[in-house]
Amino acid sequence: MTARLEARAVRKAYRSGRGTVTVALDELSLSVADGEFVSIVGPSGCGKTTFLNCVAGLESYDGGSLVLDGRPIAGPGVERAVVFQDPSLLPWRSTFDNVGYGMALQRRVPAAARERRVRELIEFVGLTGFERHYPGELSGGMRQRVNLARALATEPELLLMDEPFGALDAQTREQLQVELARIWQAGRVTVLFVTHDIEEAIFLSDRVVTMTGRPGTVRSVLDVDLPRPRDPTVKRSAGFVALEEHIWGLLHSPAPARVP
């Protein structure tokens, strides 16, 4: 499959005001194919979000390369959209206006076409009837649906998601996992998804990447050989449980020593 995103030996370090250096990422290499859903799991503080932010162009990196569709990543770009755990919706804008906000800023789509696109996406994420509601009038799950629709509105080549369901209750989280799987199946946008939830990663993904503790690098890349479309009952299957236990074991055992 054609690689959409290529990370080669990416390194990222933070320097404090006292001159100390903390290496967050070290020699991290990973590829994501066009239309693929890839999740990253790893210990707390291993650099998952740091890597996602580097891919988004929100943080610089110190070594290696990040290439999207053959072009080096040197900053934010309209070909990428990010969905964070906090929806960060504009409280003075309605659902309709929040979803269309990025499109309006880009000014690439005429107003009539933009309005059609926004209405389609609101229906797509199951929020028909809430077009004129403000964020404060929506539940946490509904706000995250608006957040996802806003990201999809700009038709990104790469959708970056940083623990988007982490702040939700278990029932809402599972509902949105199912919705995200449906949305991905319909559009096949390329997704790089960061989560601390192994079950969530397996349910959503084509492949699951595990990372080592800091400094973070790729420990393993595992195929999720489960048929699509998926529903929550797959989580009780023998193949799902075996893969979940394998990933759990990887994350809770010492990483092999690196070859100098």
Q: How many CB atoms lie within 10 A of CB 15?
A: 10
Beta bridge partners of 193: 39, 161
Instruction: Please check whether residues 67 and 98 belong to one and the same domain.
Output: no
* 63-68 sheet: strands from edge to edge: 21-33, 3-15, 63-68, 71-72
- The predicted structure's pLDDT at residue 216: 92
> What total of structural domains would you count in the chain?
2
With a cut of 80, say whether residue 108 has pLDDT above it.
no
- At 230, is the pLDDT very low, low, confident or very high (cuts 50, 70, 90)? very high
Between these two residues, 201 and 78, which has the higher pLDDT value?
A: 201
Would the pLDDT of 259 be above 70?
Answer: no
Alpha helices in 158-223 (DSSP H): 170-187, 198-204
Same domain, 147 and 255: no
| Residues of the domain holding 196 | 1-79+156-260
Does the pLDDT at position 258 exceed 80? no
pTM for the model stands at 0.92
C-alpha pair distances (Å), 50 with each of 44, 70, 135, 159:
12, 22, 28, 16
How far is 187 from 175, CA to CA, in rounded Å? 19
Q: Mean pLDDT over residues 199-216, rounded?
A: 95
pLDDT recorded at residue 253: 81
Q: What's the Rg (C-alpha) of the chain?
A: 19
> Does one domain contain both 110 and 175?
no
Looking at 19-33, 44-58, 96-110, which range is the least confident one? 96-110
Q: Does 127 lie in the same domain as 73?
A: no
Q: Are residues 168 and 61 in the same domain?
A: yes
Average pLDDT over residues 15-38: 92
Question: Which residue among 101, 135, 155 closes a domain?
Answer: 155
Same domain membership, residue 167 and residue 248? yes
Last residue of a domain, one of 125, 155, 185: 155
**What pLDDT does 187 receive?**
85
Looking at the structure, tell me whether residues 171 and 255 fall in a common domain.
Answer: yes
Neighbours of 151 (CB within 10 A): 23
CATH code of the domain containing 67: 3.40.50.300
pLDDT confidence of residue 167: 82
Averaged pLDDT for residues 229-245: 95
Same domain, 205 and 258: yes
Residue 110, both tokens: 């005429």
